[in-house]
């Protein structure tokens, strides 16, 4: 499935936020595998770079919250990152899971040829370098055509758009850094815009669709939130718990 297959129709696309974040340690290979097993159509993941220039999958600037270690990702080598336990914090059954490299993730994705990818580059001083390395790897694995790229830094959205003609997913202007107003500004460089549930409303969805943008939501994790998201017109949903959205999609298909 190519990313062009997402349309503004009644089709529902369910994306696993950091994999299956509600039930498994986020951004681990296990979390991604379990999200795919649950039936998601897309995976969302976060990229940073280690001290020795390895692109790794982790959300935070530091390893403190999601591992048994402490310190900034960018100040640690790949070997140091691999020595950490990235699963035990969520429960003893997950102890021993590792922070994955982006290369390991790409290798895993070869087994799922129809899966879409939403790749978030975390804002940092080396974010452009992360973009360059990640896109080179995606092209090496023939995965690039499946991807939409995300960043809360509008300068990185512009870099992705201007240098690589990449499909980008941004956010409302007030949620981004370095946002540029105007016809040639940041919105013009976005293919999709994601609205968090607390800000999702029909009027914004209508406005952004009128601008020709896909409108996504994050994170509708209950049946009520999923129904609200679909009713508002944002049927591409990035979920910590994908099951309510997947269940609604199944019901609609059976109707």
Please state, in angstroms and rounded to a whole number, the distance separating the CA atoms of residues 68 and 97.
11
Contact 194, 229 (CB under 8 A): no
Closest CA to 86 of 16, 14, 19: 19
Instruction: Write out pLDDT tens, residues 229-251.
Output: 999 999 899 999 999 999 998 88
d(CA 74, CA 79): 13
* CA–CA distance, 56 with 47 (Å, rounded to integer): 6
Angle at Cα 241 formed by Cα 170 and Cα 139, nearest 5°?
Answer: 50
- Residue 216, helix vs strand vs coil: strand
Active site residue 17: yes
% residues pLDDT > 70 (the chain): 96
CATH number of 3-254: 3.20.20.190
C-beta of residue 32 within 8 angstroms of C-beta of residue 105: yes
| Token pair of 61 as six digits | 């600037």
User: Which pair of tokens denotes residue 217?
Assistant: 């939501």
Q: How far is CA 115 from CA 108, 140, 143, in A?
A: 11, 17, 10
Q: Where are the domains of the chain?
A: 3-254
- The DSSP annotation for 22-72 comes to TTS-TTSHHHHHHHHHHT-SEEEEEEEE-TTS-EEE-SSSBSTTTSS--SB
Cis geometry, peptide bond prior to residue 182 (ω within 30 degrees of 0): no
Radius of gyration of the chain (CA): 18
Dist. CA 35–CA 14, nearest whole Å: 10
Sign of the alpha-carbon torsion through 73, 77, 83, 87 = positive
59 is catalytic: yes
User: d(Cα 184, Cα 188) in Å, to the nearest integer?
Assistant: 6
Which pLDDT score, from 0 to 100, does residue 235 have? 82
* pLDDT (0 to 100) of residue 7: 46
pTM: 0.95
pLDDT tens readout for residues 162-195 = 999 999 999 999 999 999 999 999 999 999 999 9
What is the distance, to the nearest Å, from the Cα of residue 57 to the centroid of all Cα atoms in its chain? Answer: 11
Model confidence pLDDT, tens digit, residues 93-105:
999 999 999 999 9
Return the residue matching tokens 């080598």.
77
* pLDDT tens track for 19-49: 999 999 999 999 999 999 999 999 999 999 9
Distance of alpha carbon 154 from alpha carbon 177, whole angstroms = 6
Find the catalytic residue in 41, 59, 161, 199.
59
Which among 157, 223, 221, 153 is positioned nearest to 17, based on CA atoms?
221
**For residue 8, is pLDDT > 60?**
no
From the candidates 17, 41, 114, 199, give the one annotated as an active-site residue. 17
């Amino acid at each position: 499935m190519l990313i062009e297959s997402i349309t503004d129709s009644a089709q529902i696309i369910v994306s696993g936020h950091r994999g299956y974040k509600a039930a498994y340690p986020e951004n681990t290979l296990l979390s991604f595998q379990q999200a795919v097993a649950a039936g998601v159509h897309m995976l969302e993941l976060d990229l940073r770079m280690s001290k020795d220039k390895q692109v790794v999958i982790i959300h935070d600037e530091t390893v403190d919250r999601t591992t048994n270690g402490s310190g900034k990702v960018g100040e640690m080598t790949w070997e140091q990152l691999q020595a950490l336990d990235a699963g035990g914090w969520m429960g003893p059954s997950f102890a021993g899971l590792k922070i994955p490299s982006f290369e390991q993730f790409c290798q895993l994705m070869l087994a799922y040829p129809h899966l879409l990818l939403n790749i978030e580059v975390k804002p940092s001083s080396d974010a452009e370098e992360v973009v360059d390395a990640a896109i080179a790897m995606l092209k090496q694995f023939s995965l690039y055509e499946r991807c939409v790229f995300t960043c809360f830094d509008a300068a990185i959205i512009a870099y992705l758009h201007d240098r690589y003609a990449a499909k980008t997913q941004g956010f409302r202007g007030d949620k981004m850094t370095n946002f540029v107003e105007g016809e040639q500004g940041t919105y013009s460089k976005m293919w999709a815009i994601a609205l968090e549930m607390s800000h999702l409303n029909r009027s914004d969805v209508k406005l952004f669709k009128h601008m020709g943008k896909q409108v996504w939501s994050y994170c509708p994790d209950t049946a009520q939130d999923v129904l609200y998201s679909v009713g508002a017109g944002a049927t591409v949903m990035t979920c910590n718990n994908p099951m309510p959205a997947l269940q609604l999609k199944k019901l609609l298909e059976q109707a």
